[in-house]
Structure 1
Protein backbone atom coordinates (compact mmCIF):
# COMPACT_ATOMS: atom_id res chain seq x y z
CA UNK A 1 0.00 0.00 0.00
CA UNK A 2 1.50 3.34 -1.09
CA UNK A 3 0.45 5.14 2.08
CA UNK A 4 3.84 6.44 3.11
CA UNK A 5 5.57 9.70 2.29
CA UNK A 6 8.98 11.09 3.17
CA UNK A 7 9.04 13.91 5.66
CA UNK A 8 12.07 16.04 6.55
CA UNK A 9 12.63 16.67 10.24
CA UNK A 10 15.09 19.02 12.02
CA UNK A 11 17.27 21.83 10.68
CA UNK A 12 20.82 21.36 9.50
CA UNK A 13 21.74 17.79 8.96
CA UNK A 14 18.10 16.91 8.96
CA UNK A 15 17.06 13.45 8.00
CA UNK A 16 14.03 12.29 6.11
CA UNK A 17 11.78 9.55 7.39
CA UNK A 18 8.69 7.89 6.06
CA UNK A 19 5.41 8.96 7.60
CA UNK A 20 2.07 7.20 7.14
CA UNK A 21 -0.48 9.32 5.32
CA UNK A 22 -3.22 8.13 7.67
CA UNK A 23 -2.73 10.92 10.18
CA UNK A 24 0.89 9.90 10.66
CA UNK A 25 -0.22 6.66 12.32
CA UNK A 26 2.22 4.00 11.18
CA UNK A 27 0.15 1.28 12.87
CA UNK A 28 -2.73 2.03 10.49
CA UNK A 29 -0.58 1.44 7.41
CA UNK A 30 1.07 -1.68 8.82
CA UNK A 31 -2.18 -3.18 10.07
CA UNK A 32 -3.97 -2.71 6.76
CA UNK A 33 -1.06 -4.18 4.80
CA UNK A 34 -0.77 -7.18 7.15
CA UNK A 35 -4.48 -8.05 7.01
CA UNK A 36 -4.52 -7.79 3.21
CA UNK A 37 -1.34 -9.86 2.79
CA UNK A 38 -2.44 -12.79 4.95
CA UNK A 39 -5.93 -12.61 3.49
CA UNK A 40 -4.45 -13.06 0.03
CA UNK A 41 -2.38 -16.05 1.19
CA UNK A 42 -5.45 -17.60 2.81
CA UNK A 43 -7.54 -17.13 -0.33
CA UNK A 44 -4.87 -18.82 -2.48
CA UNK A 45 -4.57 -21.71 -0.01
CA UNK A 46 -8.32 -22.36 0.04
CA UNK A 47 -8.51 -22.20 -3.75
CA UNK A 48 -5.84 -24.91 -3.98
CA UNK A 49 -7.60 -27.06 -1.38
CA UNK A 50 -10.92 -26.62 -3.18
CA UNK A 51 -9.36 -27.85 -6.42
CA UNK A 52 -8.09 -30.95 -4.59
CA UNK A 53 -11.21 -31.48 -2.46
CA UNK A 54 -12.50 -34.51 -4.37
CA UNK A 55 -9.08 -36.16 -4.09
CA UNK A 56 -9.01 -36.00 -0.29
CA UNK A 57 -9.42 -39.58 0.91
CA UNK A 58 -10.33 -38.78 4.52
CA UNK A 59 -13.81 -37.58 5.42
CA UNK A 60 -12.43 -36.01 8.61
CA UNK A 61 -10.03 -33.90 6.56
CA UNK A 62 -12.87 -32.78 4.28
CA UNK A 63 -14.92 -31.69 7.27
CA UNK A 64 -11.98 -29.82 8.77
CA UNK A 65 -11.36 -28.03 5.48
CA UNK A 66 -14.95 -26.76 5.37
CA UNK A 67 -14.83 -25.79 9.05
CA UNK A 68 -11.55 -23.96 8.45
CA UNK A 69 -13.08 -22.11 5.52
CA UNK A 70 -16.01 -20.98 7.67
CA UNK A 71 -13.78 -19.82 10.51
CA UNK A 72 -11.07 -18.14 8.44
CA UNK A 73 -13.52 -16.28 6.21
CA UNK A 74 -15.54 -15.10 9.19
CA UNK A 75 -12.47 -13.86 11.06
CA UNK A 76 -11.14 -12.02 8.02
CA UNK A 77 -14.49 -10.38 7.39
CA UNK A 78 -14.32 -9.02 10.94
CA UNK A 79 -10.69 -7.93 10.49
CA UNK A 80 -11.49 -6.06 7.30
CA UNK A 81 -14.39 -4.35 9.05
CA UNK A 82 -12.00 -3.18 11.75
CA UNK A 83 -9.49 -2.14 9.07
CA UNK A 84 -12.12 -0.13 7.22
CA UNK A 85 -13.17 1.66 10.41
CA UNK A 86 -9.57 2.25 11.50
CA UNK A 87 -8.41 3.66 8.16
CA UNK A 88 -11.55 5.76 7.68
CA UNK A 89 -11.20 7.45 11.07
CA UNK A 90 -7.46 8.02 10.61
CA UNK A 91 -7.96 9.40 7.10
CA UNK A 92 -10.65 11.76 8.31
CA UNK A 93 -8.15 13.29 10.75
CA UNK A 94 -5.30 13.49 8.23
CA UNK A 95 -4.03 16.62 6.55
CA UNK A 96 -4.13 16.84 2.79
CA UNK A 97 -0.80 15.50 1.51
CA UNK A 98 1.47 17.83 -0.51
CA UNK A 99 0.42 17.87 -4.16
CA UNK A 100 -2.06 15.10 -3.37
CA UNK A 101 0.67 12.46 -3.54
CA UNK A 102 -0.61 9.04 -2.40
CA UNK A 103 -4.19 10.20 -1.91
CA UNK A 104 -5.57 7.75 -4.47
CA UNK A 105 -3.81 4.82 -2.79
CA UNK A 106 -5.24 5.73 0.59
CA UNK A 107 -8.75 6.07 -0.75
CA UNK A 108 -8.42 2.80 -2.65
CA UNK A 109 -7.30 1.04 0.55
CA UNK A 110 -10.43 2.24 2.35
CA UNK A 111 -12.77 1.28 -0.51
CA UNK A 112 -11.27 -2.18 -0.99
CA UNK A 113 -11.42 -2.78 2.76
CA UNK A 114 -15.14 -2.11 2.55
CA UNK A 115 -15.56 -4.48 -0.41
CA UNK A 116 -13.53 -7.15 1.37
CA UNK A 117 -16.02 -7.19 4.26
CA UNK A 118 -18.76 -8.37 1.93
CA UNK A 119 -16.47 -10.71 0.01
CA UNK A 120 -15.13 -12.57 3.04
CA UNK A 121 -18.53 -12.50 4.71
CA UNK A 122 -20.06 -14.11 1.62
CA UNK A 123 -17.34 -16.76 1.55
CA UNK A 124 -18.05 -17.58 5.18
CA UNK A 125 -21.80 -17.81 4.50
CA UNK A 126 -21.42 -20.13 1.51
CA UNK A 127 -18.95 -22.30 3.40
CA UNK A 128 -21.46 -22.56 6.26
CA UNK A 129 -24.20 -23.57 3.83
CA UNK A 130 -21.86 -26.22 2.48
CA UNK A 131 -21.32 -27.46 6.01
CA UNK A 132 -25.09 -27.73 6.55
CA UNK A 133 -25.50 -29.64 3.29
CA UNK A 134 -22.76 -32.04 4.38
CA UNK A 135 -24.32 -32.64 7.81
CA UNK A 136 -25.81 -35.89 6.44
CA UNK A 137 -22.31 -36.79 5.15
CA UNK A 138 -23.40 -36.83 1.49
CA UNK A 139 -21.20 -33.81 0.73
CA UNK A 140 -18.15 -35.21 2.49
CA UNK A 141 -18.52 -38.78 1.20
CA UNK A 142 -19.09 -37.82 -2.45
CA UNK A 143 -16.42 -39.10 -4.79
CA UNK A 144 -15.96 -42.44 -3.04
CA UNK A 145 -16.71 -45.78 -4.69
CA UNK A 146 -20.18 -46.62 -3.43
CA UNK A 147 -20.02 -50.17 -4.81
CA UNK A 148 -16.95 -50.91 -2.76
CA UNK A 149 -18.10 -49.51 0.55
CA UNK A 150 -21.84 -50.04 0.29
CA UNK A 151 -24.65 -47.53 0.01
CA UNK A 152 -23.71 -45.61 3.13
CA UNK A 153 -20.13 -44.95 2.07
CA UNK A 154 -16.75 -45.98 3.43
CA UNK A 155 -15.71 -46.84 6.92
CA UNK A 156 -18.38 -46.61 9.57
CA UNK A 157 -21.15 -45.12 7.49
CA UNK A 158 -23.28 -48.30 7.62
CA UNK A 159 -20.72 -50.59 9.17
CA UNK A 160 -19.34 -51.54 5.76
CA UNK A 161 -21.99 -54.23 5.28
CA UNK A 162 -23.69 -52.86 2.18
CA UNK A 163 -27.34 -52.00 1.65
CA UNK A 164 -28.88 -54.71 3.89
CA UNK A 165 -25.82 -56.19 5.56
CA UNK A 166 -26.23 -53.99 8.59
CA UNK A 167 -29.71 -55.38 9.28
CA UNK A 168 -28.50 -58.97 8.92
CA UNK A 169 -25.59 -58.28 11.21
CA UNK A 170 -27.93 -56.78 13.82
CA UNK A 171 -30.15 -59.88 13.68
CA UNK A 172 -27.11 -62.06 14.06
CA UNK A 173 -25.81 -60.25 17.13
CA UNK A 174 -29.33 -60.26 18.66
CA UNK A 175 -29.69 -64.04 18.37
CA UNK A 176 -29.84 -66.03 21.61
CA UNK A 177 -28.07 -69.33 22.20
CA UNK A 178 -30.88 -70.47 24.49
CA UNK A 179 -33.41 -70.36 21.67
CA UNK A 180 -31.55 -70.97 18.44
CA UNK A 181 -33.50 -70.32 15.29
CA UNK A 182 -32.42 -72.97 12.79
CA UNK A 183 -33.87 -73.25 9.32
CA UNK A 184 -35.15 -76.66 8.22
CA UNK A 185 -33.39 -78.57 5.49
CA UNK A 186 -35.00 -77.48 2.20
CA UNK A 187 -34.19 -80.88 0.59
CA UNK A 188 -35.75 -83.07 3.33
CA UNK A 189 -39.27 -83.11 1.85
CA UNK A 190 -37.99 -83.83 -1.65
CA UNK A 191 -35.80 -86.70 -0.42
CA UNK A 192 -38.69 -88.28 1.50
CA UNK A 193 -40.95 -88.10 -1.56
CA UNK A 194 -38.35 -89.83 -3.73
CA UNK A 195 -38.00 -92.63 -1.19
CA UNK A 196 -41.74 -93.24 -1.17
CA UNK A 197 -41.91 -93.42 -4.96
CA UNK A 198 -39.11 -95.98 -5.07
CA UNK A 199 -40.79 -98.09 -2.37
CA UNK A 200 -37.81 -97.73 -0.09
CA UNK A 201 -38.58 -98.17 3.54
CA UNK A 202 -36.34 -96.50 6.00
CA UNK A 203 -34.99 -99.17 8.34
CA UNK A 204 -35.83 -98.82 11.98
CA UNK A 205 -33.19 -99.36 14.61
Structure 2
Protein backbone atom coordinates (compact mmCIF):
# COMPACT_ATOMS: atom_id res chain seq x y z
CA UNK A 1 0.00 0.00 0.00
CA UNK A 2 1.48 3.29 -0.98
CA UNK A 3 1.99 5.65 1.92
CA UNK A 4 3.34 8.60 -0.06
CA UNK A 5 2.71 11.83 1.83
CA UNK A 6 0.96 10.11 4.74
CA UNK A 7 1.35 11.52 8.27
CA UNK A 8 3.28 14.57 7.20
CA UNK A 9 6.04 12.67 5.40
CA UNK A 10 7.12 12.73 1.80
CA UNK A 11 6.35 10.10 -0.78
CA UNK A 12 7.91 6.73 -0.11
CA UNK A 13 11.02 6.04 -2.15
CA UNK A 14 11.82 9.72 -2.73
CA UNK A 15 15.56 10.57 -2.89
CA UNK A 16 17.10 11.45 0.47
CA UNK A 17 18.06 15.11 0.95
CA UNK A 18 20.44 15.54 3.95
CA UNK A 19 20.03 19.32 4.03
CA UNK A 20 16.27 19.07 4.21
CA UNK A 21 16.56 16.30 6.80
CA UNK A 22 18.62 18.31 9.29
CA UNK A 23 16.31 21.29 8.85
CA UNK A 24 13.21 19.45 10.01
CA UNK A 25 11.87 20.77 13.33
CA UNK A 26 11.45 17.22 14.61
CA UNK A 27 15.09 16.40 13.92
CA UNK A 28 16.41 19.61 15.45
CA UNK A 29 14.31 19.19 18.58
CA UNK A 30 15.27 15.54 18.91
CA UNK A 31 18.96 16.47 18.69
CA UNK A 32 18.42 19.01 21.48
CA UNK A 33 16.78 16.29 23.59
CA UNK A 34 19.83 14.12 22.96
CA UNK A 35 22.20 16.89 24.08
CA UNK A 36 20.20 17.67 27.22
CA UNK A 37 20.07 13.99 28.14
CA UNK A 38 23.86 13.75 27.94
CA UNK A 39 24.22 16.80 30.21
CA UNK A 40 21.77 15.48 32.81
CA UNK A 41 23.16 11.99 33.28
CA UNK A 42 26.75 13.12 32.64
CA UNK A 43 26.72 15.76 35.35
CA UNK A 44 25.21 13.44 37.94
CA UNK A 45 27.46 10.50 37.03
CA UNK A 46 30.67 12.53 37.14
CA UNK A 47 30.23 14.53 40.36
CA UNK A 48 26.88 13.50 41.79
CA UNK A 49 28.43 11.07 44.30
CA UNK A 50 31.06 11.54 46.98
CA UNK A 51 32.64 9.22 49.49
CA UNK A 52 31.23 9.77 52.98
CA UNK A 53 33.78 9.05 55.68
CA UNK A 54 31.14 8.63 58.36
CA UNK A 55 29.06 6.13 56.41
CA UNK A 56 32.15 4.76 54.65
CA UNK A 57 30.49 4.62 51.26
CA UNK A 58 29.66 6.85 48.34
CA UNK A 59 26.49 8.87 48.84
CA UNK A 60 24.51 11.07 46.51
CA UNK A 61 25.04 14.79 47.03
CA UNK A 62 21.31 15.39 46.65
CA UNK A 63 20.79 15.28 50.40
CA UNK A 64 22.40 11.82 50.52
CA UNK A 65 19.44 10.41 48.61
CA UNK A 66 20.81 7.80 46.24
CA UNK A 67 17.38 7.39 44.66
CA UNK A 68 17.58 10.99 43.43
CA UNK A 69 20.86 10.36 41.66
CA UNK A 70 19.66 7.05 40.26
CA UNK A 71 16.47 8.65 38.99
CA UNK A 72 18.32 11.48 37.25
CA UNK A 73 20.83 9.12 35.63
CA UNK A 74 18.10 6.66 34.65
CA UNK A 75 15.83 9.09 32.83
CA UNK A 76 18.85 10.71 31.20
CA UNK A 77 20.30 7.47 29.84
CA UNK A 78 16.94 6.24 28.55
CA UNK A 79 16.26 9.64 26.99
CA UNK A 80 19.66 9.47 25.29
CA UNK A 81 18.97 6.04 23.79
CA UNK A 82 15.42 6.96 22.83
CA UNK A 83 16.60 10.14 21.09
CA UNK A 84 19.01 8.12 18.97
CA UNK A 85 16.24 5.67 18.13
CA UNK A 86 13.83 8.41 17.09
CA UNK A 87 16.50 10.11 14.98
CA UNK A 88 16.95 6.83 13.13
CA UNK A 89 13.17 6.63 12.83
CA UNK A 90 13.08 10.12 11.31
CA UNK A 91 15.72 9.04 8.82
CA UNK A 92 13.68 5.95 7.87
CA UNK A 93 10.30 7.71 7.98
CA UNK A 94 10.36 8.68 4.29
CA UNK A 95 11.13 5.06 3.35
CA UNK A 96 8.11 3.65 5.20
CA UNK A 97 5.79 2.69 2.35
CA UNK A 98 3.07 1.34 4.67
CA UNK A 99 0.61 3.81 6.15
CA UNK A 100 0.12 1.54 9.17
CA UNK A 101 3.85 1.53 9.87
CA UNK A 102 3.95 5.33 9.80
CA UNK A 103 0.91 5.47 12.06
CA UNK A 104 2.51 3.15 14.63
CA UNK A 105 5.71 5.20 14.58
CA UNK A 106 3.83 8.48 15.07
CA UNK A 107 1.73 7.05 17.92
CA UNK A 108 4.86 5.63 19.57
CA UNK A 109 6.57 8.99 19.27
CA UNK A 110 3.54 10.78 20.70
CA UNK A 111 3.14 8.43 23.67
CA UNK A 112 6.81 8.18 24.60
CA UNK A 113 7.57 11.89 24.20
CA UNK A 114 4.58 12.92 26.27
CA UNK A 115 5.39 10.39 28.98
CA UNK A 116 9.05 11.40 29.11
CA UNK A 117 8.15 15.07 29.40
CA UNK A 118 6.14 14.09 32.48
CA UNK A 119 9.04 12.07 33.91
CA UNK A 120 11.40 14.98 33.43
CA UNK A 121 8.92 17.21 35.26
CA UNK A 122 8.88 14.75 38.15
CA UNK A 123 12.68 14.54 38.04
CA UNK A 124 13.07 18.31 38.11
CA UNK A 125 10.81 18.64 41.13
CA UNK A 126 12.49 15.71 42.87
CA UNK A 127 16.07 16.89 42.31
CA UNK A 128 15.28 20.51 43.14
CA UNK A 129 13.63 19.47 46.41
CA UNK A 130 16.53 17.22 47.43
CA UNK A 131 19.08 19.87 46.57
CA UNK A 132 17.29 22.58 48.53
CA UNK A 133 17.46 20.37 51.65
CA UNK A 134 21.06 19.26 51.22
CA UNK A 135 24.20 20.71 52.78
CA UNK A 136 26.69 22.36 50.43
CA UNK A 137 29.60 19.93 49.88
CA UNK A 138 33.04 20.84 51.17
CA UNK A 139 34.94 23.01 48.75
CA UNK A 140 31.85 23.31 46.56
CA UNK A 141 32.48 19.88 45.02
CA UNK A 142 29.97 19.09 42.29
CA UNK A 143 27.77 22.11 42.95
CA UNK A 144 27.81 23.33 39.35
CA UNK A 145 27.16 19.85 37.98
CA UNK A 146 24.25 19.18 40.28
CA UNK A 147 22.64 22.53 39.53
CA UNK A 148 23.17 22.01 35.79
CA UNK A 149 21.41 18.64 36.01
CA UNK A 150 18.44 20.34 37.65
CA UNK A 151 18.37 23.15 35.07
CA UNK A 152 18.57 20.87 32.04
CA UNK A 153 15.96 18.55 33.52
CA UNK A 154 13.70 21.59 33.49
CA UNK A 155 14.61 22.44 29.89
CA UNK A 156 14.02 18.84 28.83
CA UNK A 157 10.39 19.12 29.88
CA UNK A 158 9.73 21.55 27.04
CA UNK A 159 11.87 19.78 24.43
CA UNK A 160 10.11 16.46 24.95
CA UNK A 161 6.74 18.20 25.11
CA UNK A 162 7.61 19.85 21.79
CA UNK A 163 8.38 16.45 20.27
CA UNK A 164 5.00 15.21 21.49
CA UNK A 165 3.33 18.24 19.91
CA UNK A 166 4.92 17.63 16.51
CA UNK A 167 3.92 13.96 16.71
CA UNK A 168 0.35 15.01 17.49
CA UNK A 169 0.31 17.31 14.46
CA UNK A 170 1.50 14.41 12.30
CA UNK A 171 -1.23 12.19 13.69
CA UNK A 172 -3.88 14.80 12.88
CA UNK A 173 -2.61 15.08 9.32
CA UNK A 174 -2.77 11.33 8.91
CA UNK A 175 -6.28 11.14 10.37
CA UNK A 176 -7.53 13.92 8.10
CA UNK A 177 -6.04 12.21 5.06
CA UNK A 178 -7.65 8.88 6.02
CA UNK A 179 -11.16 10.37 6.02
CA UNK A 180 -10.72 12.50 2.89
CA UNK A 181 -12.91 11.41 -0.08
CA UNK A 182 -10.95 9.40 -2.59
CA UNK A 183 -13.32 9.87 -5.55
CA UNK A 184 -13.42 12.76 -8.00
CA UNK A 185 -16.49 14.92 -8.27
CA UNK A 186 -18.62 14.87 -11.43
CA UNK A 187 -17.66 17.92 -13.53
CA UNK A 188 -21.32 18.42 -14.33
CA UNK A 189 -22.11 18.95 -10.65
CA UNK A 190 -19.45 21.67 -10.27
CA UNK A 191 -20.56 25.20 -11.15
CA UNK A 192 -18.96 26.12 -14.45
CA UNK A 193 -17.84 22.55 -15.13
CA UNK A 194 -18.54 20.86 -18.42
CA UNK A 195 -20.53 17.62 -18.28
CA UNK A 196 -19.17 14.42 -19.71
CA UNK A 197 -19.66 14.09 -23.50
CA UNK A 198 -22.25 11.51 -24.51
CA UNK A 199 -21.26 8.52 -26.60
CA UNK A 200 -21.51 9.46 -30.32
CA UNK A 201 -24.39 7.81 -32.11
CA UNK A 202 -23.87 6.73 -35.71
CA UNK A 203 -25.90 8.50 -38.38
CA UNK A 204 -28.79 6.63 -39.90
CA UNK A 205 -28.74 5.71 -43.63
CA UNK A 206 -30.62 7.57 -46.33
CA UNK A 207 -33.37 5.07 -46.55
CA UNK A 208 -34.62 1.84 -45.19
CA UNK A 209 -33.76 -1.63 -46.24
CA UNK A 210 -33.13 -1.96 -49.99
CA UNK A 211 -33.79 -5.08 -51.92
CA UNK A 212 -30.92 -6.69 -53.79
CA UNK A 213 -30.78 -6.24 -57.57
CA UNK A 214 -32.22 -9.65 -58.16
CA UNK A 215 -35.22 -9.81 -55.96
CA UNK A 216 -37.30 -12.80 -55.29
CA UNK A 217 -40.17 -11.52 -57.50
CA UNK A 218 -37.95 -11.22 -60.55
CA UNK A 219 -36.61 -14.70 -59.98
CA UNK A 220 -40.10 -16.14 -59.82
CA UNK A 221 -41.02 -14.25 -63.04
CA UNK A 222 -38.21 -15.83 -64.96
CA UNK A 223 -39.01 -19.30 -63.72
CA UNK A 224 -42.73 -18.94 -64.50
CA UNK A 225 -42.28 -17.96 -68.24
CA UNK A 226 -43.59 -20.52 -70.78
CA UNK A 227 -40.89 -22.34 -72.63
CA UNK A 228 -41.29 -22.23 -76.39
CA UNK A 229 -39.50 -24.76 -78.52
CA UNK A 230 -37.64 -23.42 -81.48
CA UNK A 231 -39.28 -23.89 -84.89
CA UNK A 232 -37.64 -26.06 -87.46
Task: Quote the residue 1:31 is aligned against.
Answer: 71
Counterpart-to-counterpart distance in 1, 2:160 and 2:86: 12
Counterpart-to-counterpart distance in 1, 2:136 and 2:74: 25
Q: Deviations over 1:15-46 (max 9, x none)?
A: x3111000000000000100011011111111
Counterpart-to-counterpart distance in 1, 2:70 and 2:97: 40
Instruction: Tell me how far 1:194 sits from its aligned partner.
Output: 7.3
Alignment of 1:35-54 (within 5 A): 35-54=75-94
Specify which of 143, 150, 171 is matched with residue 103 of structure 1.
Answer: 143
Secondary structure of 2:58 counterpart: strand
Task: Quote the residue 1:130 is aligned against.
Answer: 170
Counterpart-to-counterpart distance in 2, 1:195 and 1:49: 75
Instruction: Tell me how far 1:163 sits from its aligned partner.
Output: 5.6
Alignment of 1:12-31 (within 5 A): 16-31=56-71
Gaps of at least 5 residues in structure 2 are 1-43, 186-200, 216-232
TM-score (norm 2): 0.60
Q: Kindly report the root-mean-square deviation, in angstroms, between the aligned alpha carbons of the 2 structures.
A: 2.7
Alignment of 1:50-69 (within 5 A): 50-69=90-109
1:3 aligns with 2:3: no
1:90 aligns with 2:130: yes
Secondary structure of 2:94 counterpart: helix
Task: Quote the residue 1:114 is aligned against.
Answer: 154
Q: Deviations over 1:110-136 (max 9, x none)?
A: 000000001111111111112112212
Runs of 4 or more consecutive aligned structure 1 residues displaced over 6 Å after TM superposition:
none
Higher relative contact order, structure no. (Cα contacts within 8 Å, ≥ 6 residues apart): 2
Gaps of at least 5 residues in structure 1 are 11-15, 139-151, 165-185
Secondary structure of 2:163 counterpart: helix
Which is greater in Rg?
2
Instruction: Tell me how far 1:71 sits from its aligned partner.
Output: 0.6
Number of residue equivalences: 154
